């Protein structure tokens, strides 16, 4: 089958690889119908995740059709149209039983690698390095889905493929970002990053009771989408002082809840960006935490900071004093797909949210390297490239 493979830093190639096979009775094989790029893939592409191996198939946000089921599966059958969460979880350990699916004890086939870096390993993730299980990703014609009845969900009638695909990762990640905020009626929520996850976090904040949502980014087309589709007020951080603007917009108090939907490769104007960039290139720090610093300073006293932008290791110049003395609450993590996807499919089916507007480019898999180059450099008004293998 055809698959989009990582072959080195900033190098992708469409290769012919063997078709996947059932390896465990709880596996299913899914024919991929749509598979989206994701901002976290860029951390792999840029070489910031050290456990990638040449030939690894990338991609983790997808939907498709079940073509083969393992003997232990009772509910799934061939022909089912499903969306699959990007996180691989067993559904039966203590963490899964408590709804913390991304912390699953059994979903990571290479748990020892993650344990060295994290202390305790979390769940596996499709197409996201050996440290997260070494599972083949979704930018391929077919994919093996472990623990298939835990992570796969039947797509309701009336929900098109173009909407369902983002219920795999972007929508549940954005929803979890808003959910972790503990939003109360009347709250003002600021979201750093107007990419796919940030857009879904804005929608989700309103679904959970926010009165106002403020989007912060530097790309006019993304801010325009946030204003049009997510009903957000917008700030271009290259044109305004974000901290001063947020104070003015909130009567001097600051946003009640702040969401970091950017993560380890944040950009900011001025010397701060070059300070972090140089330290990252020299391996003195692994992540550029400009958004995290700014959100800590912007959030009101006693507020909540929700972090879903991916961080991989160590950061510098973290304003711990501000966080402590302001009494901030931090909540963060990889998203619990299995907890949220059924609810989000209901939102989409009922018309509350239609994430299909994130799909700006629908391309064949053969154009995968070109698609990632466009996505990385944000050219041609690209929000998301979705491949149709």
Give the rounded percent of residues in the chain with a pLDDT score beyond 70.
100
The pLDDT tens digits for 161-189 are 999 999 999 999 999 999 999 999 999 99
* pLDDT classification of 116: cutoffs 50, 70, 90: confident
> Which residues are CB-contacts of 281 (< 8 A; sequence separation ≥ 6)?
none
Does the pTM exceed 0.85?
yes
* pLDDT classification of 324: cutoffs 50, 70, 90: very high
Give 31's strand partners: 65, 142
In the chain, domain spans: 2-169+335-388, 170-332
* Radius of gyration for the chain, computed over Cα atoms and rounded to the nearest angstrom: 20
Residue recorded with tokens 């979704």: 138
Residue recorded with tokens 């954005």: 174
Which run of H or E residues covers position 212? strand 212-217
**Is residue 52 helix, strand or coil?**
coil
Answer CATH for 170-332 from 3.60.15.10, 1.10.3720.10, 3.40.50.720, 3.40.50.1000: 3.40.50.720
| Domains 2-169+335-388 and 170-332 in one fold | no
CATH architecture designation of domain 2-169+335-388:
Alpha-Beta Complex (3.90)
263: tokens are: 């993560």
Average pLDDT of the chain? 96
Spatial CA neighbour of 167 closest among 37, 341, 338: 341
For residues 228, 340, 266 and 194, what is the CA-based torsion angle, rounded to 10 degrees? 0
Spatial CA neighbour of 191 closest among 325, 312, 299: 299
195 neighbors 39 (Cβ within 8 angstroms): yes
344 to 98, 248, 297, 337, 339: CA distances (angstroms): 19, 34, 32, 10, 10
Q: Tell me how far apart the alpha carbons of residues 315 and 137 are, in angstroms, rounded to a whole number.
A: 28
Average pLDDT over residues 264-276: 89
């Amino acid at each position: 089958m055809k698959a989009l493979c990582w072959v080195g830093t900033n190098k992708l190639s469409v290769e012919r690889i063997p078709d996947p096979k059932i390896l465990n009775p709880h596996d299913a094989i899914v024919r991929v119908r749509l598979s989206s790029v994701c901002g976290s893939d860029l951390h792999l592409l840029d070489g910031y995740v050290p456990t990638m191996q040449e030939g690894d198939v990338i991609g983790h946000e997808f939907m498709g059709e079940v073509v083969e089921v393992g003997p232990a599966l009772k509910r799934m059958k061939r022909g089912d149209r499903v969306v699959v969460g990007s996180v691989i979880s067993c559904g039966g350990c203590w963490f899964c039983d408590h709804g913390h699916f991304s912390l699953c004890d059994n979903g990571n086939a290479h748990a020892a690698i993650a344990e060295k870096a994290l202390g305790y390993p979390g769940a596996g993730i499709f197409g996201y390095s050996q440290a997260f299980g070494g599972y083949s990703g979704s930018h391929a014609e077919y994919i093996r889905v472990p623990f298939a009845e835990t992570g796969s969900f039947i797509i309701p009638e009336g929900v098109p493929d173009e909407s369902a695909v983002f219920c795999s990762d972007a929508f549940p990640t954005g929803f979890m970002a808003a959910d972790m905020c503990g939003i109360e009626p009347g709250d003002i929520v600021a979201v750093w990053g107007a990419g796919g996850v940030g857009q879904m976090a804005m929608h989700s904040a309103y679904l959970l009771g926010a009165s106002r949502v403020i989007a912060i980014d530097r790309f006019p087309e993304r801010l325009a989408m946030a204003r049009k589709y997510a009903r957000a007020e917008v700030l271009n951080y290259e044109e305004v002082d974000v901290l001063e603007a947020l104070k003015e917009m909130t009567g001097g108090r600051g946003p009640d809840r702040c969401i970091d939907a950017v993560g380890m490769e944040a950009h900011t104007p001025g010397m701060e960006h070059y300070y972090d960039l140089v330290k990252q290139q020299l391996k003195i720090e692994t992540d550029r935490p400009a958004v995290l610093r700014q959100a800590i300073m912007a959030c009101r006293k006693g507020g909540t900071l929700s972090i879903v932008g991916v961080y991989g290791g160590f950061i510098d110049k973290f304003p711990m004093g501000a966080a402590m003395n302001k009494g901030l609450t931090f909540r963060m993590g990889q998203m619990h797909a299995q907890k949220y996807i059924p609810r989000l499919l209901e939102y989409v089916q009922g018309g509350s949210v239609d994430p299909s507007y994130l799909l700006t480019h629908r391309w064949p898999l053969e154009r995968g390297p070109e698609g990632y180059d466009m996505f990385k450099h944000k050219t041609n008004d690209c929000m998301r490239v979705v491949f149709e293998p």
